Amino acid sequence: MKIVIFGLGYVGFTAACCLAREGHEVFGIDVNADKVDEINRGQAPIKEPGVEDLLKAALERGLIRAATGIESLAETDLAIVCVGTPSATDGSHNMSYIAEVTRQIAAAVPEGRARPLTVAYRSTFRPGTITGLVEPIFHSALGPRTGNLVEIVYNPEFLRESVAVEDFFNPPKIVVGTADGGRSAVMDKLHEGLDAPVFYTRYEEAEITKFVDNTWHAVKVAYANEIGRVCHRMGVSAGKVHEIFVSDTKLNISPYYTRPGGAFGGSCLPKDVRALQYISNEIGAHTHLIDSLLRTNEAHKTYQVDDILRQLPEKGRVLMAGLAFKADTDDLRESPNVDIARRLLEKGHALSVYDPSIRPADLRGQNLGYAFTHLPGVATLLVDRETAEAGPWDLVIGSNRTLDGLRLGDARVLRTDRYE
Active site residues per annotation: 268
DSSP H or E stretch at residue 60: helix 51-60
Residue 12 burial class via C-beta count within 10 angstroms: exposed 0-12, middle 13-18, buried 19 and up: buried
Distance CA 164, CA 59 (A): 20
Neighbours of 387 (CB within 10 A): 12
Categorise residue 71: left if φ over 0, alpha if ψ from -120 to 50, beta otherwise: alpha
Neighbours of 99 (CB within 10 A): 16
Phi, psi of 129 (to 5 degrees): -70, -40
DSSP string, 72-90: --TT-SEEEE-----B-TT
Distance CA 214, CA 274 (A): 11
**Residues with Cβ < 8 Å from 53, sequence gap 6 or more?**
none
DSSP state of 264: P
Q: Is the separation of the CB atoms in 321 and 358 below 8 Å?
A: no
Q: Is the separation of the CB atoms in 174 and 198 below 8 Å?
A: yes
Neighbours of 89 (CB within 10 A): 6
| Nearest C-alpha neighbor of 304 from the set 271, 330, 342 | 342
Residue 355 burial class via C-beta count within 10 angstroms: exposed 0-12, middle 13-18, buried 19 and up: buried
